[in-house]
Structure 1
Amino acid sequence: MLQIGNFPDIVNEYAARSVAGLVLILALATLWTQSVWFNLALLYGFAARVLYGPKFSLFAKVAIHGIVPLFKLGNRPTAGPPKRFAQSIGFLFSLTSLLLLINGQILAFEIGIGILAFFALLESTLGFCAGCFVFGYLMRWGIIPQEICEKCNHLTFKTKD
């Protein structure tokens, strides 16, 4: 597999949920204003997180250094590869919505951003990561090799003890 950037193998679940909350706010602002600039900010954020994890993501920095310590959320380790996969899906949705917006396909843009906002809401409030859910099935079906997430399995067993 082509390795791009340096996405962490383990991430803080509370930081990921905080990022999802920030994505939700920006997605709703993008939907409300139909702003190309807000949509570009969404796209950049997802691209930064897919390629390098929190290193170049403003939302990740705010979550890790601001929200998590401010609200004393602590650290709940979770596997990085499924989160990276979920960020990739967010990247595709934000790219598609940007292209639709630029081409004047407003209803399709609204549907795309609405779906993105809905799944950000699920992750930020309930901790349900739809991309992670799909990632698990792709592993079970053999589409994603087991070695991609060997650390996922170790982490899962470790946190259940």
Structure 2
Amino acid sequence: MATELECPVDFITVNENKVRLTALNVFILAVVYLIIPHWIIPAFLSIDFFLRGFNFGKYSLLNILSEKEVQLFSIKPKPIDQAPKRFAAKIGFIFSVAILAATLFNFISAGIVLAVILTVFAFLESFLGFCAGCYAYTFYNRLFLKSRKQAVN
């Protein structure tokens, strides 16, 4: 049986090239964290992912930086629905908070493992245009719907 992806959709478009530049900036910050695991990096990422994931993207420093990069390099816009990107930002927020907590409580190895996962996802989005958000959303929906159906029966 073939598995079909389910992606959130809200019919509001954003510039995919800007999103990919934001992912590149996340990738860079995550790599820096892997080299120097300091709490300030996941704290910054937590705030930034929160802003982007919960409709305050205009205040996101990484969004602002990416917009400047788009203008500086004269990159043409490529419209894409924002809902999968917002969902992915919410997942990034959860990862960043977990990395921050691991760092603050001196679970450096756990923070590194989570940061590697975040780095891989940021790399996939930035360099390959592959958003793992739809896969996570599909998994989340199937898990949630399955447990919900079982609760009803």
Q: TM-score range by the shorter chain?
A: 0.7 to 0.9
The one-letter amino acid paired with 2:133 is G
Deviation at 1:132, TM superposition (A): 2.9
SS at match of 2:135: helix
Summarize the alignment of residues 17-56 of structure 1 with structure 2, pairs less than 5 Å apart. 17-56=20-59
Deviation at 1:139, TM superposition (A): 9.2
RMSD: 2.2
Q: Point out 4+ residue stretches in structure 1 off by more than 4 angstroms.
A: 138-144
Distance 1:42 1:59 in 2: 9
SS at match of 2:62: helix
Summarize the alignment of residues 1-161 of structure 1 with structure 2, pairs less than 5 Å apart. 9-64=12-67, 66-135=68-137, 137=138, 141=142
Deviation at 1:108, TM superposition (A): 0.8
Size of the aligned set, in residue pairs, is: 136
Deviation at 1:133, TM superposition (A): 3.4
Compare relative contact order (CA 8 Å, sep 6+) and give the higher one, 1 or 2: 2
- Output the TM-score relative to the length of structure 1: 0.77
The one-letter amino acid paired with 2:135 is F
Deviation at 1:51, TM superposition (A): 1.6
Q: Deviations over 1:84-141 (max 9, x none)?
A: 1000000010011111111111111100011001110110000001013333x36985
Unaligned runs of 5+ in 2: 1-9, 146-153
Distance 1:87 1:32 in 2: 23
Taking only the aligned residue pairs, the percentage that are identical comes to 35
- Output the TM-score relative to the length of structure 2: 0.81
Distance 1:8 1:102 in 2: 39
Unaligned runs of 5+ in 1: 1-6, 145-161
Contact 1:8/1:53 (8 A) holds in 2: no
